[in-house]
Amino acid sequence: MAVIVAVDTFDVRFPTSRELDGSDAMNPDPDYSAAYVILRTDEGPEGHGFTFTIGRGNDICRMAIETLAPFVVGVDPDAVDLGAFARELTHDSQLRWLGPEKGVVHLAAAALINAMWDLVAKRAGKPVWRYLADLTPEQIVDLVDWRYLTDALTPEEALRILRAAEPGRAGRIAALRARGYPAYTTSPGWLGYDDEKLARLAKQAVVDGFTQIKLKVGADLSDDVHRFQVAREAVGPGIRIAVDANQRWDVGVAVEWMRALAPYDPWWIEEPTSPDDVLAHAAIRTALATAAPNGGPIRVATGEHVQNRIVFKQLLQAGAVDFVQIDACRVGGVNENVAILLLAAKYGVPVCPHAGGVGLCELVQHLSMFDFVAVSGTTEKRVIEFVDHLHEHFLAPAVVRDGYYVAPTEPGFSAEMSADSIAAYSYPDGPAWA
Ligand SMILES: [Mg+2]
């Protein structure tokens, strides 16, 4: 028995725009930021969580977290029903008006739901991936808000998927501990880097054990062709190179642009257009179905800005994507991501999470590892994004070794930022900004 006695919030911003780390065609000057929350209890560990933004507006997310805080104060983390808790946060009848289930209030709910998972897992002495993977199929199904999903996936079908994966759980946990979970890196590919830096970082990625890298595209076609050529020469033909347009294009431009990049064999095109536009993704995927040098497809990926499970459902129903890219902080936290993992498993579409930013690698690794152990049962064609920025601010940073995420062993969600970093980068009064 314990009780959450306070919810403390912080506006933490890192001045990443000064180095052009994270620069892409849509977001030229991001300051990676966390609307950060600490759940204080009357005894035992704290729960840490956040949602990710790129600077301005982080204060609005923080305010929304404070608006939701009354739903959290007074909760006993040892007795909380995590499914009901998440549904309560996302379905308040007045706050729901501001979404529903999208936008600032949904990001704020994600921060609080993730913080609650951190707290519950810490009290159980397990990392979140393992906490999830030790639940029964029935308990996992109860985490999900089934509203609006049952035309694509019913709780009974989800139970069948989870039960089918049960016999192999122990073996896959052992495999995760031995090897980890495959990663790819975006570190070489930011738009603001020159040729020398691109080639050097791309070669380094291969030396570091990665079999996939990613380039940002979408600002200037001839420049993209040139950069892709530089990257392809640097890594050779055997390494997958994905490209990411960060929502820059309309359908026609996306198809034209990707045909121009096709000779260099792109593995996927990520966020070619608006994340809300299911039919546009389907049209782009169809248009590029034979565009690769071998006559195969240029695959379509999206998800980091997909606002909720319903849009993911439609992307899958419409055959609009080859890869689902979940984000740990964009949708309603762990619970809604469990729903999306189950949907993707039903449709047989691999999940390759979005990460980077600040803390996204730390969080999302838990979700992919849970997917491998208890849902899809495979890592085939699956990779978690890795960007080597800002990990030093976390007490249990994500570790990638030989191209694999090492399975976290620390209890919780790997979400805890050091108190020093929170103080130093608090906006606008921390020393990094003052
Ligand atoms: Mg992206």
Q: Select 165-421's CATH number: 3.40.50.2300, 3.50.50.60, 3.20.20.120, 3.20.20.240.
A: 3.20.20.120
| Residues sharing a CB contact under 8 Å with residue 105, sequence separation 6 or more, in sequence order | 64, 67, 68, 95, 96, 98, 99
Q: Does pLDDT of 1 surpass 90? A: no
Q: Compute the distance from residue 71 Cα to the ligand 1 centre, in Å.
A: 32
The one-letter amino acid at 105:
V
Residues 402-433 have pLDDT tens digits of 999 999 999 999 999 999 999 999 999 999 99
d(CA 27, CA 58): 15
Q: Give the pLDDT confidence score for residue 33 in this predicted structure.
A: 98
Q: Compute the distance from residue 79 Cα to the ligand 1 centre, in Å.
A: 37
Q: Identify any residues that bridge with 426 across adjacent strands, giving them in sequence order.
A: 12
- The mean pLDDT of 298-323, rounded to a whole number, is 98
Residues 215-270 have pLDDT tens digits of 999 999 999 999 999 999 999 999 999 999 999 999 999 999 999 999 999 999 99
d(CA 302, CA 384): 13
Q: Compute the distance from residue 214 Cα to the ligand 1 centre, in Å.
A: 9
Domain ranges for the chain:
4-126, 165-421
Q: Compute the distance from residue 184 Cα to the ligand 1 centre, in Å.
A: 12
106, 216, 281, 391: which one is catalytic?
Answer: 216
CA 358 to chain centre: 11
Q: What is the DSSP code (8-state) at residue 369?
A: H
122 belongs to the catalytic site: no
Split at pLDDT 50, 70, 90, the class of 26 is: confident
346, 354, 389, 391: which one is catalytic?
Answer: 354
216 belongs to the catalytic site: yes
Q: Is this prediction's pTM over 0.95?
A: yes
d(CA 434, CA 424): 10
Residues 59-73 have pLDDT tens digits of 999 999 999 999 999
Q: Give the pLDDT confidence score for residue 86 in this predicted structure.
A: 98
Q: Compute the distance from residue 6 Cα to the ligand 1 centre, in Å.
A: 35
d(CA 5, CA 192): 45
Residues 122-143 have pLDDT tens digits of 999 999 999 999 999 999 999 9
Q: Any idea which residue has 């379905």 for tokens?
A: 91
Q: Give the pLDDT confidence score for residue 434 in this predicted structure.
A: 87
Q: Give the pLDDT confidence score for residue 74 in this predicted structure.
A: 98
Q: Compute the distance from residue 304 Cα to the ligand 1 centre, in Å.
A: 7
Give the total residue count for the chain: 434
Q: Compute the distance from residue 246 Cα to the ligand 1 centre, in Å.
A: 6
CATH topology of domain 4-126: Enolase-like; domain 1 (3.30.390)
Residue 386 tokens, joined: 């890795």
